[in-house]
């Protein structure tokens, strides 16, 4: 019994030692975990304090994480704020007015013809805006964000690009620096600044949706359109305002929207700064733009034309005709050539070629690469000015309209036997409308509308750029069935009206008329 009792005692003692060991082990592990947690917390706190300390000495520099994972929201917000603060100072509101002097309280009188925006491009007070903003202007008032007001004069306008330069007296004006629109890519962030709907210094943001858009909205036979498309909100009154990149650099002048209403629907268009810089430089220096010309008539290359001429890939711009004695002719270019690049830049649409040539002056030499009979050849072309006899004759012929031998003459409305009695004169707009004939409905591909029979020079419609030989389909959001609808709508309107029209080629266009 005594032996058995001693054995039991030894077993119990062993178990006790084991338990003590386990407890000691657990205690050591807990202590170790506490030390680890404390050390990790200390590291995190140290890292946060280091970052905050760095932020107090950092201005607008981007965190290192930008390089790998993109900007954190707080830094992106700060970036947009800095762009907005810098750019809004250099964007002005423009009020164009006509009529009698209204006195000190209303020096511009009534009625107001137009409202728009402009961008200050030099400390000496030069301002770029759209030509259509200041068309027919008798007096122009410019207002800065600091509420200073100035009377401005027109230095020069260019109908082909819808650009104009104004001048106000003074020095030290805030400037929006010019950027390089050639570096802009689809998907880039952009910021639009202007004065839409009389809301001054409005800032909107979006991305570049497309490049090289041609809309046929500039009402000039020698229009140059190569717009940047953006989804940054642009509304009436933004015309002439700034489109800038996230460096606050001007990459475009906001010019138009495509919308069925008087509000943005996600389609805004801006003139690229590379073209703007070229135009305003000449307007300031000479009061006009001095352009070099190739002397060619061009057409797009589609699948049918590519197949006809044996071009394997659908690319380039088709040279339909080369004017005898022109710069292109002297350099060796020929009709039926396909221009594939200008100065090394690919061209795949007529407006690509036009915008590149439009940046050059008479006497400049440009390299033109063409596809001819299965091979590519490059020609050095010295551009000629419009003042040379060969160009004066050629341009005069183009301005006088297509000849009777042209395969696509301008559409003329049919004689319905009713003469002028069928035309409704719209007072205030100085425009004549008449009902659609059946043949016109077919040509314009519309069911209803009012045909624009004439537009008088100097009237409200002409000032807005409305051409004849189009069909008015909508006034703001209201569908137009007949000329009577236009007259009725105008009699009840209290502000500017947005006309939507259909051109003969089936494309829509938009015009804002007081």
Structure tokens at 239: 């015309």
Give me the long-range contacts of 309-318 (CB less than 8 A, separation at least 24): 309/336, 309/338, 310/373, 310/374, 311/338, 311/371, 315/340, 315/346, 315/348, 316/340, 316/347, 316/348, 316/370, 316/371, 317/347, 317/348, 317/349, 317/350, 317/352, 317/353
Q: Tell me if 115 sits within 8 A of 197, measured CB to CB.
A: no
Q: Tell me if 203 sits within 8 A of 92, measured CB to CB.
A: no
Eight-class DSSP state of 466: -
* Cα of 375 vs its chain's centroid, Å: 36
- Cα separation, 347 vs 350, in Å, equals 8
Structure tokens at 63: 């965190």
3-state helix, strand, coil in the chain (%, to 5): 30, 30, 40
Q: Which of 93, 117, 132, 329 is catalytic?
A: 132
Residue 162: active-site member = yes
Q: Which of 181, 209, 239, 259 is catalytic?
A: 239
Distance separating the N- and C-terminal Cα atoms of the chain: 121
Alpha carbon separation from 202 to 194, 238, 376 (Å, rounded): 5, 9, 49
Alpha carbon separation from 160 to 132, 218, 247, 289 (Å, rounded): 11, 7, 29, 10
- Cα separation, 229 vs 210, in Å, equals 5
Alpha-carbon torsion, ordered 292, 294, 298, 303, to 10 deg: -110
Residue 132: active-site member = yes
Residue 474: active-site member = no
Q: Which of 135, 158, 162, 231 is catalytic?
A: 162
Tokens 């088709």 identify what position?
A: 318
Q: Under 8 Å CB-to-CB from 329, ≥6 apart: which residues? A: 295, 322, 323
Alpha-carbon torsion, ordered 107, 109, 114, 118, to 10 deg: 0
Task: State the catalytic residues.
Answer: 132, 162, 239
């Amino acid at each position: 019994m005594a032996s058995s009792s001693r054995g039991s005692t030894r077993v119990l003692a062993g178990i006790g030692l084991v338990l003590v060991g386990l407890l000691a082990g657990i205690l050591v592990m807990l202590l170790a975990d506490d030390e680890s947690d404390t050390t990790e917390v200390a590291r995190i706190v140290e890292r946060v304090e280091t970052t905050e300390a760095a932020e107090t000495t950092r201005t607008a520099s981007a965190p290192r994480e930008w390089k790998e994972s993109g900007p954190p929201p707080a830094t992106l917000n700060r970036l947009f704020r800095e762009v907005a603060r810098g750019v809004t100072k250099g964007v002005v509101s423009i009020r164009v007015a006509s009529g009698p002097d209204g006195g000190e309280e209303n020096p511009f009188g009534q009625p107001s013809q137009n409202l728009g925006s402009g961008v200050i491009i030099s400390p000496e007070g030069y301002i770029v805006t759209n030509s259509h903003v200041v068309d027919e202007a008798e007096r122009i008032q410019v207002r800065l964000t600091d509420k200073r007001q100035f009377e401005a004069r027109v230095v020069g306008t260019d109908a082909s690009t819808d650009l104009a330069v104004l001048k106000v007296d003074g020095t030290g004006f805030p400037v929006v620096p010019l950027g390089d629109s050639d570096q802009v890519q689809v998907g880039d962030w952009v910021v639009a600044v202007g004065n839409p709907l009389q809301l001054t210094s409005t800032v909107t943001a979006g991305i570049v949706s497309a490049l090289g858009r041609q809309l046929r909205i500039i009402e000039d036979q020698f229009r140059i359109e190569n717009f940047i498309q953006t989804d940054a909100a642009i509304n009436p009154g933004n015309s002439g305002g700034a489109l800038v990149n996230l460096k606050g650099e001007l990459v475009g002048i906001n010019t138009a929207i495509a919308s069925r209403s008087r509000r943005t629907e996600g389609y805004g268009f801006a003139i690229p700064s590379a073209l703007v810089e070229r135009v305003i430089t000449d307007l300031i220096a000479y009061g006009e733009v001095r352009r070099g010309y190739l002397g060619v008539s061009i057409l797009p290359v589609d699948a049918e034309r590519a197949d006809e001429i044996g071009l394997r890939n659908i690319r380039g711009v088709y040279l339909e005709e080369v004017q005898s004695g022109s710069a292109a002719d002297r350099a060796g270019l020929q009709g039926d050539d396909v221009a594939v690049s200008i100065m090394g830049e690919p061209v795949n649409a007529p407006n690509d070629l036009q915008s590149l040539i439009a940046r050059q002056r008479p006497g400049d030499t440009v390299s033109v690469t063409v596809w001819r009979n299965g091979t590519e050849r490059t020609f050095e072309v010295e551009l000629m000015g419009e003042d040379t006899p060969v160009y004066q004759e050629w341009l005069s012929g183009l301005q006088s309209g297509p000849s009777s031998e042209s395969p696509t003459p301008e559409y003329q409305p049919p004689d319905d036997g009713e003469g002028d009695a069928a035309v409704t004169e719209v007072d205030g707009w100085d425009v004549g409308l008449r009902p659609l004939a059946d043949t016109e409905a077919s040509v314009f591909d519309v069911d209803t509308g009012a045909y624009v029979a004439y537009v008088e020079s100097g009237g409200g419609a002409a000032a807005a750029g409305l051409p004849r030989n189009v069909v008015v389909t909508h006034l703001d959001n209201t569908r137009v069935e007949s000329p009577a609808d236009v007259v009725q709508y105008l009699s009840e309107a209290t502000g500017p009206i947005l006309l939507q029209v259909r051109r003969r080629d089936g494309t829509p266009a938009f015009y804002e008329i007081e």
